[in-house]
Amino acid sequence: MRVKVAKYAGVCYGVERALKLAAEATESGRTVHTLGPLIHNPQAVLAMAERGVEVAESLDDAAEGTLIIRSHGVNPSIIAQAREKGLDVIDATCPFVSTAHQSAAELVRDGYTVIIVGESDHPEVEGIMAWAQGRAIVVEEVADIPAKLGSRKIGVVVQTTQSLSRLQAVVDALLPRVSELKVHNTICSATGKRQRAAEDLARDVDVVVVVGGHNSGNTSRLAEICSTVNERVHHVETADELQAEWFDGARDVGVTAGASTPDAQMAGVVAAIEAMGDGGC
């Protein structure tokens, strides 16, 4: 059984930057909190906790020290409130997410009704909505587009980890209904590369294993994309979740990983699959 790893897989620049900033913050000797999980990867969050980085669910949970704004970004008013409390704020918002923030703000400023293509309960989308001053409509798919848009001048931004096909479907559905449509494709380049590489890999192997947090939107999207071209797709966080029967009759196994998945975590899964192929347990 051969294991093939996607050409582009694993931790992206924005996540790597957030982890680096958090690690550096622990060297100050001050109390360090992240506002919500730093990234959507439970194993990485646990590793940071072992270094003294605690998760604060709200500003009330961070009384002093350093507060790290996670890679998904937040409402800008929260940063202002944190500084008013005397917290040392480190903004680890992914630069691609910041671009989505600015795009939403610009569209609102220019008089567009804004549509955000993404998951309404995802923290990144909540942040984009805040930058749109709460004056946006969130749609995850075409069926979510409301019957009345309130304007024929529409601006579109997209959650950075969404698929291009989903953005395209929403844009195609909007075109006949508006007189002016301005689209900001804010899908990050790392996401696009990982999605294309995962699909190519899935076409070329018998089984696909996608590694990353079960709470990670970008990892779940990789599994979803792979499933469109391969019926044998499994999403795991760690090697402990692997089941030998998944690989029955398989000659080639593909492995990819979400942008919030550290390389060591993916390597552990690869090694475990290889051990199964060699007759290990």
Task: Tell me the catalytic residues.
Answer: 124
Q: Look at residues 11, 28, 102, 100 and name the one whose alpha carbon lies nearest to residue 67.
A: 28
Q: CA-to-CA distance for 55 and 227, rounded, in angstroms?
A: 33
Q: CA-to-CA distance for 104 and 106, rounded, in angstroms?
A: 5
Q: CA-to-CA distance for 132 and 129, rounded, in angstroms?
A: 5
Sign of the Cα torsion 224, 162, 188, 170 reads: positive
- What is the DSSP code (8-state) at residue 89? E
Number of Cβ within 10 Å of residue 184's Cβ equals 17
The three-point CA angle 149-152-157 to 5° equals 70
205 within 8 A of 252, measured Cβ to Cβ: yes
Phi, psi of 14 (to 5 degrees): -65, -40
31 within 8 A of 65, measured Cβ to Cβ: yes
Sign of the Cα torsion 173, 176, 179, 184 reads: positive
Q: Look at residues 248, 125, 130, 144 and name the one whose alpha carbon lies nearest to residue 186.
A: 125
Q: Which distant-in-sequence residues (6+ apart) come within 8 Å of 141 by Cβ?
A: 166, 169, 170
- Partners of 258 in beta bridges: none
105 within 8 A of 24, measured Cβ to Cβ: no
- SS3 of residue 148 by DSSP: coil
